Amino acid sequence: MQVNAHGSRAALTDFQRYAIIFALAAPASVVTWLVFHGVFVNLSATEKAMGYVDPLTQMGIDLGYIAMIGGTMVFAAIALWAGVRALVARSRNGNGAS
């Protein structure tokens, strides 16, 4: 939180706002991938070891794969959008101020 000379809260600039969104979304996409990929690999290894899985476990594998790809793509798209917007805001105003 920024505080101006009068002690009140100052608004974030466009650059700061988009940079914060990027800083949160980029690692979230990596964490989403790593978590779901770990589960997917574990369940797939179980499937190979047993030679089969029950339908409920197979549904879990399939839904986990969809969540892994979808979640990673959503967070990566948000990070990309925010990164581009931050660069545009910074170049438009020179120092990122709005």
Q: Kindly state whether residue 67 falls inside one of the protein's structural domains.
A: yes
Give mean pLDDT, residues 20-32.
95
Q: Any residues with CB less than 8 A from the CB of 53 and at least 6 apart, and which?
A: 43, 46, 47, 61
pTM above 0.85, yes or no: no
Q: Does residue 59 fall inside a structural domain?
A: yes
pLDDT of residue 12: 86
- Examine residue 54 and state whether it is found in any structural domain, yes or no: yes
Range of the domain at 59: 15-93
Q: 6 in a domain, yes or no?
A: no
Structural domains in the chain (count): 1
Sign of CA dihedral 33, 71, 19, 83: positive
**CA-closest candidate to residue 83, choices 25, 1, 30, 13:** 25
Instruction: Tell me, yes or no, whether 38 lies in a domain.
Output: yes
Q: Can you tell me the distance from the alpha carbon of 15 to that of 86, in angstroms, rounded to the nearest whole number? A: 5
**Has residue 44 been placed in a domain?**
yes
**Segment 77-90 mean pLDDT:** 96
Q: Tell me, yes or no, whether 32 lies in a domain.
A: yes
What are the tokens at 88?
A: 């545009």
Question: Residue 68: inside a domain, yes or no?
Answer: yes
Could you read off the pLDDT of 49-80 as tens digits, one per residue?
888 778 888 888 788 888 889 999 999 999 99
